[in-house]
Chains A and B, each alone.
With several copies, the nearest count.
Chain A
Amino acid sequence: MTPLLVEVEVDGVMRRLSVDRQENGCVVLLDERTIPVDIYEPMPGVLSLVIGGRSYRCVRSAMMDEETIAVGARQYRVAVTDRRSLRGQRKRPGAGNGALQIKASMPGRVARVLVTQGDTVRAHQGVVVIEAMKMQNELKAPREGRVKELRVAAGDKVASGQVLAVIE
């Protein structure tokens, strides 16, 4: 069997692993250490790992385009990429200069739109206000730019993850 080579971004740090499937688990090569891992999957989205005698219950949660792994009280934001498609992918918001989508972080209703198309916005300037659970929440531009598109108007219902505006 060919070991799997992957790169994982964990809490913003990129890590390289090789994973080789074995009976009852796998052998991982991480940071030049060879780590045998005993694996049990009690239910979908939950993995019990025993590594060198230490036991970890790892729970996956996917929210919008983000994935976290919780181990006890600790939560890690992770993003797994295969090696070939690594470059140019999963760029973090605000990191580059391309067009950037502002998405609703929760379902709700558009209370106000604070900009108009063509406006220049500063980083962290409010763009759209969403109301949900009795609270108003201002979604901000992650970096400076120009409002290329405005896809919602006051009063619109929006779904979680829906694109509200595009900054370029």
Chain B
Amino acid sequence: MPSLRKILIANRGEIALRLLRACRELGISPVAVYSDADRGALHVQHADEAYRLGPAPSIDSYLRADRILEIARKCGADAIHPGYGFLSENAEFAEACTAAGITFIGPPASAMRELGSKTRARAAADRARMPRTPGSVRGLTSPEEALTLAKEIGYPVMLKAAAGGGGKGMRAIRSSEELPSALIAASDEAARAFGSGEVYLEKLIERPRHIEIQLLADQHGNVVYLGERECSVQRRHQKVIEEAPSPVVGAELRRRMGEAACRLAREAGYVNASTVEFLVDEAQNFYFLEVNTRLQVEHAVSELVTGVDLVHLQIAIAEGKPLPFTQEEIALRGHALEVRVYAEDPESGFLPSPGKITRLLRPGGPGIREDEGVYEGWDVPTEYDPMLSKLIAYAPDRATAIARLGCAIDEYVIGGIRTNLKLLRRILNDPDFQAARIDTSYLDRLLAKSAPENTEVTGDTAIADAATIAAVLFAAPAAASPTSQAQTPWQQDALQRGLHGGLRR
């Protein structure tokens, strides 16, 4: 297959910009697509070409496979990168690309189907001799079957949707009484959310850590793992902080998990980048959870500790090139942590907070990487995921990486909308997080405690005094800048006007 010359990026936000940068670095022309809400987005500004998809809702824009393919054909793109979300795990779309003679930068549709269904993936895991949670490898057909199976593996158990994701169709069951009605509810919910009511049952792992293996597979049968990521800091099954390596995974566990993941990829005929997710219990047993047949949001932390560029390699693989290294040549160095910066208000039940970014001061310096998706002046749309940016820190060790990321958050200013920066800072300051005493319910436990007050953090009131004085100076601009408009003597009346103007701006 010849080298790619033009790639259409079928995505938006930070990942569209990240993919676009990779294209440019490789001398490939990046093509953006955009909804009406995104005409001014960074990925449109920075692309070589940009084409409108349709109205703001995803269903009318970034999910319009037909429009995207038509644009790719018309502009002469020889490949499409789907990013994550949207069409990235849509096997029909991958097939349609192939049928149109356009390279889909991702796995073949067959492998996507094999691993995309959780029940089929569990069966494949068995063939690959990969540990999984006890439970079913196909959808449940009756409450009786469910009760028998649950008794066999022992309570507590989990009901899960085969086509699922994001916690929908998922139920924790602690006794047989709960099971029949929960089965109906979960199946209904799954049917509504995913168009398939298939649910299955597995043993519930108590206080698991979420640890996942990054894989790369080329078209020549080479499969390697690039270490693991730990993503145990979650809220409602959404990852908030990710890191590599996991503080609890040693060389031996890494090798066993990595090799199991590689076997699964080979079993499914997988090509390109993927992630095999596991739950790891307190005794360091690992259980297969699911496969993500695409680039992950959190891929950057793996890049930093392995020194590779996963998107460059995705493109090379799609071009038919062999992997440029063997498993033995992959070494981990240092520690990387990523926080997802969201436009949401943790203090008001995580309400989304779209709107105009009136001030954006980005951190920088050693070990700081930002995969950003917004700019000062950008109006964060209401129609999409509220992630603004990924802030990533790399350092020789975990403690330094945590300190570095915390300092970067302190420098980061996002004005005009609410964000989760303060919560992220709180997590990084938390002794349990620092000691890596985390599991998938860690964040819920932290959130159940009340946040420390500003004064508790410092023990002194000088910072509050500064904020108080600043508030007055902002409200009365003349106080701040004597050389600005109000050069006349400082007068009570003028200032009263200044105060009001300041407040109501």
Contact = CB atoms under 8 A, between A and B. Distances in A.
B248 interface: no
A106 B468 contact: no
B417 A63 contact: yes
B496 interface: yes
Given A42-B377, A43-B377, A59-B415, A80 B467 contact: no
A150 to B, nearest CB: 21
Contact of B476 (A19, A30, A46): A19
Contacts of B491: 1-2
Interface in A20-37: 20-21, 23, 26, 28, 30, 35, 37
Interface in B435-456: 453-454
A132 B383 CA distance: 6
Given A4-B490, A49-B466, A80 B50 contact: no
A21 B416 contact: no
A108 B353 CA distance: 10
B51 interface: yes
B472 A60 contact: no
Given A45-B415, A56-B463, A137-B351, A78 B382 contact: no
Interface residues of B, number: 81
B164 to A, nearest CB: 16
B354 interface: yes
B503 interface: yes
Interface string A147-168: 0000000000000100000000
Contacts of B45: 40, 42, 48, 55, 57
Contact of A132 (B382, B413, B468, B500): B382
A106 B351 contact: yes
A91 interface: no
B401 interface: no
Contacts of A15: 468
B45 to A, nearest CB: 5
B365 to A, nearest CB: 15
B167 interface: no
A71 interface: yes
Given A4-B476, A4-B492, A47-B473, A58 B47 contact: no
Contact of A80 (B352, B416, B503): B503
A111 interface: no
Contact of A35 (B361, B410, B469, B476): B469
A135 B503 contact: no
Given A4-B490, A42-B40, A80 B469 contact: no
A137 to B, nearest CB: 5
Contacts of B425: 73
Given A4-B490, A4-B492, A21-B479, A73 B359 contact: no
Contacts of A40: 39-40, 44-45
A134 interface: yes
B482 interface: yes
B422 interface: yes
A6 interface: yes
Interface string B37-57: 001100011111111000000
A168 B349 CA distance: 25
Contacts of B422: 73, 75
Contacts of B490: 1-4, 20-21
A62 interface: yes
Contacts of A78: 467-468, 471
Contact of B44 (A55, A82, A108): A55
A39 B44 CA distance: 12
A67 B466 contact: no
A74 B467 contact: yes
B480 interface: yes
A47 B480 contact: yes
Contacts of B421: 73
A49 B39 CA distance: 10
Question: 4 shortest A-B CB distances, which residue pairs?
Answer: A58-B470, A133-B352, A78-B471, A61-B415
19 contacts: A2-B492, A19-B473, A23-B482, A42-B378, A46-B361, A48-B44, A51-B469, A55-B47, A55-B50, A60-B415, A63-B418, A80-B475, A105-B351, A106-B351, A133-B344, A133-B383, A133-B385, A133-B386, A135-B352
Interface of B: 32, 39-40, 44-51, 75, 343-345, 348-355, 358-359, 361, 375-378, 382-386, 406, 409-410, 413, 415-418, 421-422, 425, 453-454, 457-458, 462-476, 478-482, 489-492, 495-496, 499-500, 502-503, 505
